[in-house]
Amino acid sequence: MKPEEKQLELNQTVLEIAKKIGESFSGEEKLYQTFLNCYTSTAKTTVKFLEGGEVFVFTGDIEAMWLRDSSAQVVHYLPFAKDYPIIAEFIRGLLKRQMRCILIDSYANAFNEEANGRCWEVDITESNPWDWERKYEVDSLCYPVWLLHEYWKITGDTSVFTGGVKQVFQTIVDQWKKEQNHGSASAYSFERLNCPPSDTLTREGRGEPCGYTGMTWSGFRPSDDACRYGYLIPANMFAVTVLGYMKEMTETVYKDSTLADRMEKLSGEIEEGIRKYGIIRHEKYGEIYAYETDGLGNYNLMDDANVPSLLSIPWLKYRDENDRIYQNTRKYVLSLTNPYYFEGNRAKGIGSPHTPKNYIWHISLTMQGLTAVEKEEKEELLRVLLDTDADCLVMHEGFHCDDPLKFTREWFAWANSLFALFVMQLYRK
């Protein structure tokens, strides 16, 4: 089948699935139409089947493929990968491309479709023509492994476990070990000239000093903004989860106990680092997780809309939603004590330093719904999501809490995919 024929079949399949799910709420016209638009968004607007079995998934309004975004953009298709061969082929092709990208440059966050040298900015870092951007983010390595594990568990398909995938596992473990001692062991640096401070690292691209904690260092957040302090707690939590997945796959598929033991040891070191350095006692909320720390006594208390976030801890499967410290943290991040939590006439929720003040993100509202315990909270958040789309019938990046007609990014497939997943969860489909 030619790439364009595969694309057509994928589009028809996801539309068919969306309409079947939508039968549960077909009487609610706006919900129905918004769900259809959001569910089909990734397949219809961001997917390109390539020769050789690979699939390129760009972000929407930017031509490059982010390892994080491309994984999150297909989350709502995963449950159907076993029953619909074209969806399985689509996700396998994406995984094949993601794994190749990691082996090309494990420090890059976004890649070109071809080695054409196109880039967001010409930065001072060891980039190559495949790199669209080389901001090192721990979650960029987490997401493709998470996607691989989810796909395997749902389909039982072991054809994805190539020698290259095992090499990716080894690369990730080696890199996370090295970045436990970023200051002395790592050669990575990143500088961008003539830009806001959030787009570059301090100290000639090395970032602020850090002490050893057992956690692994990250230069940038999942927002692509620079970390204030190098140990990004939500990213390290995601790494713990993913190391568990890698250990399971390595033992089950590759039968390599030596590599699996390395993964378990590293996971334990990161976990201990989170326990020792990632928890602080807040005067109002008790023990909560910090967003960042440097291991030298400095902490950044906040949360960001982008995932991994502190709000998303149960979704990352790091802790249960009823965990005491998580619940304390959730109360903190969903309060005005969090500097990026905003309340207005139309909505309240978490935004990001990546967007203007008073802009709430649809991703954070959706994640709040995905991690909520009470159905009443979920239903209220669905109402807010539908009421703040500026009548576009899709999700955006950020919108002003007093005026949803003011928003960033008309085309944001990640937000659309999470919204579709949330609706599926809410209606148990």
Residue-level pLDDT at 61: 86
Reference 124, options 191, 76, 61; nearest CA is 191
Strands 231-232 and 292-293: antiparallel
Q: What is the mean pLDDT of residues 14-18?
A: 98
SS3 46: coil
Which two structure tokens, joined as six digits, stand for 141? 């390595």
Q: What is the mean pLDDT of residues 12-27?
A: 94
Residues 188, 136: Cα–Cα separation, whole Å = 8
User: How does residue 349 score in pLDDT terms, banded at 50, 70 and 90?
Assistant: very high
Residue-level pLDDT at 390: 97
In order of 185, 243, 264, 270, the CA distances from 278 in angstroms are 22, 19, 20, 10
First to last CA, the chain: 30
Residue-level pLDDT at 401: 98
User: How does residue 27 score in pLDDT terms, banded at 50, 70 and 90?
Assistant: confident
Residue-level pLDDT at 9: 98
Phi and psi at 346, nearest 5°, equal -110, -20
Residue-level pLDDT at 177: 98
Residues 316, 323: Cα–Cα separation, whole Å = 13
Residues 271, 251: Cα–Cα separation, whole Å = 21
User: How does residue 428 score in pLDDT terms, banded at 50, 70 and 90?
Assistant: confident
Residue 179 pLDDT > 70, yes or no? yes
Residue 149 pLDDT > 90, yes or no? yes
Residues 65, 98: Cα–Cα separation, whole Å = 9
Question: What letters, b where the CB count within 10 A reaches 16 and e where it falls short, cover 301-325?
Answer: bbbbbbbbbbbbbbbbbbbeeeeeb
pLDDT (tens digit, 9 = 90+) per residue, 201-217? 999 999 999 999 999 99
Strands 47-49 and 359-361: unpaired
Q: What is the mean pLDDT of the chain?
A: 97
Residue 246 pLDDT > 80, yes or no? yes
Residues 418, 415: Cα–Cα separation, whole Å = 5
Query: Where are the chain's structural domains?
Result: 67-336
CA angle 75, 78, 234 (to 5 degrees): 35
Residue 280 pLDDT > 60, yes or no? yes
Residue-level pLDDT at 318: 98
- Tell me: cis bond preceding 356? Omega within 30 of 0 counts: no
pLDDT (tens digit, 9 = 90+) per residue, 49-74? 998 999 999 998 899 999 999 999 99
Residues with Cβ within 8 Å of residue 306, at least 6 apart in sequence: 221, 222, 223, 352, 354, 361, 363
Exposed/middle/buried for 280, CB within 10 Å: 0-12, 13-18, 19+?
middle
Reference 121, options 70, 61, 194, 189; nearest CA is 194
Phi and psi at 351, nearest 5°, equal -110, -140
Q: What is the mean pLDDT of residues 225-244?
A: 98
pLDDT (tens digit, 9 = 90+) per residue, 281-315? 999 999 999 999 999 999 999 999 999 999 999 99
pLDDT (tens digit, 9 = 90+) per residue, 92-141? 999 999 999 999 999 999 999 999 999 999 999 999 999 999 999 999 99
Of the options 3.30.420.130, 1.50.10.10, 3.50.50.60, 1.10.286.10, the CATH number for the domain spanning 67-336:
1.50.10.10
Residue 411 pLDDT > 90, yes or no? no
Residue 429 pLDDT > 60, yes or no? no
Residue-level pLDDT at 60: 84
Residues 397, 69: Cα–Cα separation, whole Å = 13
In order of 71, 328, 358, 413, the CA distances from 93 in angstroms are 12, 40, 39, 18
